[in-house]
Structure 1
Amino acid sequence: MNCFKIICSLSTFLIFIYSSYSQNSGYKETQLTQEGDNRYASYNKDGTKIIFESNRDGHWQIYTMNIGGDRQKRLIKTNSNDRRPTWHPYKDIVLFESDRTGQSEIYMYDLETRKTSVILLSLHGNKTHAQFAPNGVEYIFNLEDTSEDFDIYIAHSKGRKPRKIVDDAFVNRYPHYSPRGDNILYSSNKNNERETDVIYLYNYITLERSRLSYFKDHSFHPIWSFDGRNVAYAAVIKDEISEIYTMRNDGIGKKRITFNTTEDILPNWSPNNQNLLVTRKVGSNYQIVRVFLNHPLEQE
């Protein structure tokens, strides 16, 4: 009987510790945007400026702001939807997608010359989720053949030699280069009966493939840290709200970063790997939140 009481007391204590950890864990955060829907935030190469998309003016446009959230300004003024901006690895050039021609095409904007140019590709379908390779010459992107078929391509930044590297009849999205440029992260529903996404790693030089997240979870929006050691991603665990997690580049050491009652998606690392930009559902809109990984709340 005494042993039973001890076990019950110990169980109660462990439940208390777990509850306290779940409620109080996480990191110091700052909300950077307030107006409209704001998504797909990322740092420039120096970590001094953030680029993101916003529909605050009625349609999707590209904005920049300082890392503290001040000096938010529209970068390009058009009547089309300009979306999902990403930075060049070492120049002040932005890669983005726009529906100016009636379908989504990839464009470049030079912040120094203030000139926009389209990357013409002889491929039919919407081109989305573009990102420069570390060499700054090639880029990776999604081609949407149908709503149920997203393939992954690599092409020269001048539109030459597009080649398909992930080709199947499933949804393969959010491709992202490793810092060395040899591995690609992406999420896909190909091995999960199309029910949830799983994160995959593909070395398109050696053609080796590996899976980094669990089949039972819905894992998506993977992105490398700048040193290539870790991956941040969004995941829905046990049908809960989407939260942000990190793991090592081999899929080991998964760690939950955000603890909220609303959706967290689209993580992106700072160049020093010390904070994450996250897109969070705040009320009826999405806002950009900065999460300080070097300021865990349980240690304050």
Structure 2
Amino acid sequence: MSKLILIPFLSTLILISCSGKKKKITRGKSESFQSPSQTNFESNQNKIVFRSNRDGNYEIYIMNSDGSNQTRLTNHIKGDFPHGFSSDGSKIIFNSARDGNDEIYVMDIDGRNQTRLTNNSVSDFNPQFSPSNSNILYTAHKNGRNNIFIMNSDGSNQRNLTGDDHWDDFPQFSPDGSQIVFISRRDGNDEIYLMDIDGTNQTRLTNNNVIDFIPQFSPDGSQIVFVSMRDGNEEIYLMDTDGNNQKRLTKNNANDFIPQFSPD
């Protein structure tokens, strides 16, 4: 059964099955984990990449899925923010402000060959490799809004998929690379949308007067896990990819967010 990772209160890394059973796999200060997509399973080597400020500023670390062998990969005074592995497990993609503003970088899994892919006056962040590793999806902040972009894996052919008219963010590829799930404020508040990889067929999946955000596909592409505040605080929900069968998975007084499926 596939499991979800969620991070309540930004404090610990938690495994949760779709039945609701949870398991803690790290311990530490609340600042050690923060923001969407920065804790990621790599299916081949069973590794987790994450961000920690244990050495004074936020850097990128890697560890085994049981929490052992925690190793620092970056060392910069500016923050580095990991967003996962390439599908073959050889690269880590991240954004960093080391050159003045947030840009997209890649590096080998051991921290070597750190390479900048974007070079813009705006901030580029939230990158993700496509399942084939041929493209990279990311968010750019320009003209006061976040827009969703895609580029080749070498940084070439950068193009805007959602336009400049509204706020769009948190894009994620479907497992087969044919679709992208994302959030948009185009209808008044954060809701979850789906589109094809070329930006066509943009379709709204949720419709609430509170925010729904941080969507992730299940490994088989049949479901989307997300966070919603529809019941008063941030909880984890699951739905089919057409927006049907929305159900709540967590129920806590605390906030539960940043969910991600394990590959299996």
Q: Tell me the TM-score range normalised by the shorter chain.
A: 0.7 to 0.9
Per-residue deviation, residues 157-199 of structure 1 (Å, max 9, x unmatched): 212111111113322111111111111111111112xxx3100
Per the alignment, in what secondary structure is the counterpart of residue 257 of structure 2?
A: strand
Distance 1:136 1:219, change over 3 A: same
The answer as to 2:43 corresponding to 1:45 is: yes
* Runs of at least 4 residues off by over 3 Å: none
CA distance in structure 2 between the partners assigned to 1:54 and 1:170 by the alignment = 32
Distance 1:173 1:47, change over 3 A: farther
Per-residue deviation, residues 115-148 of structure 1 (Å, max 9, x unmatched): 2111134x430001000111102101001014x4
Identical-residue share of aligned pairs (%): 29
CA distance in structure 2 between the partners assigned to 1:105 and 1:228 by the alignment = 29
Q: Alpha-carbon deviation of 1:255?
A: 1.9
> 1:89–1:134: 8 Å Cα contact kept in structure 2?
yes
Q: Summarize the alignment of residues 163-202 of structure 1 with structure 2, pairs less than 5 Å apart.
A: 163-192=159-188, 196-202=189-195
Per-residue deviation, residues 59-87 of structure 1 (Å, max 9, x unmatched): 22111122122332222222221013211
Q: Summarize the alignment of residues 118-197 of structure 1 with structure 2, pairs less than 5 Å apart.
A: 118-121=116-119, 123-146=120-143, 148-192=144-188, 196-197=189-190
Write the letter of the residue equivalent to 1:268. Q
Relative to the length of structure 1, the TM-score reads: 0.75
Write the letter of the residue equivalent to 2:209. K
Q: Alpha-carbon deviation of 1:44?
A: 0.8
Per the alignment, in what secondary structure is the counterpart of residue 199 of structure 1?
A: strand
From the two aligned structures, give the one with the greater strand fraction.
Answer: 1
Among candidates 20, 30, 43, match of residue 24 of structure 2: 30
Q: Which runs of 5+ in 1 are unaligned?
A: 1-24, 273-300
Per-residue deviation, residues 31-74 of structure 1 (Å, max 9, x unmatched): 52313411321101326111111223222211112212233222
Write the letter of the residue equivalent to 2:126. H
Q: Alpha-carbon deviation of 1:262?
A: 1.4
Count of aligned positions? 242
Q: Summarize the alignment of residues 254-293 of structure 1 with structure 2, pairs less than 5 Å apart.
A: 254-272=246-264
The answer as to 2:243 corresponding to 1:251 is: yes
Per the alignment, in what secondary structure is the counterpart of residue 195 of structure 2?
A: strand
Relative to the length of structure 2, the TM-score reads: 0.85
CA distance in structure 2 between the partners assigned to 1:90 and 1:245 by the alignment = 29
- 1:229 alignment partner in structure 2: 222
Q: RMSD value over aligned CA atoms? A: 1.9
Q: Which runs of 5+ in 2 are unaligned?
A: 1-18
Distance 1:209 1:42, change over 3 A: same
> 1:47–1:271: 8 Å Cα contact kept in structure 2?
no
Distance 1:71 1:206, change over 3 A: closer
CA distance in structure 2 between the partners assigned to 1:261 and 1:31 by the alignment = 21
> 1:62–1:75: 8 Å Cα contact kept in structure 2?
yes
Q: Alpha-carbon deviation of 1:205?
A: 4.1
> 1:172–1:187: 8 Å Cα contact kept in structure 2?
yes
Write the letter of the residue equivalent to 2:182. Y
Distance 1:86 1:156, change over 3 A: same
Per the alignment, in what secondary structure is the counterpart of residue 222 of structure 1?
A: strand
- If asked which structure has higher relative contact order (CA below 8 Å, sep 6+), I would say 1
Q: Summarize the alignment of residues 99-118 of structure 1 with structure 2, pairs less than 5 Å apart.
A: 99-111=97-109, 114-118=112-116
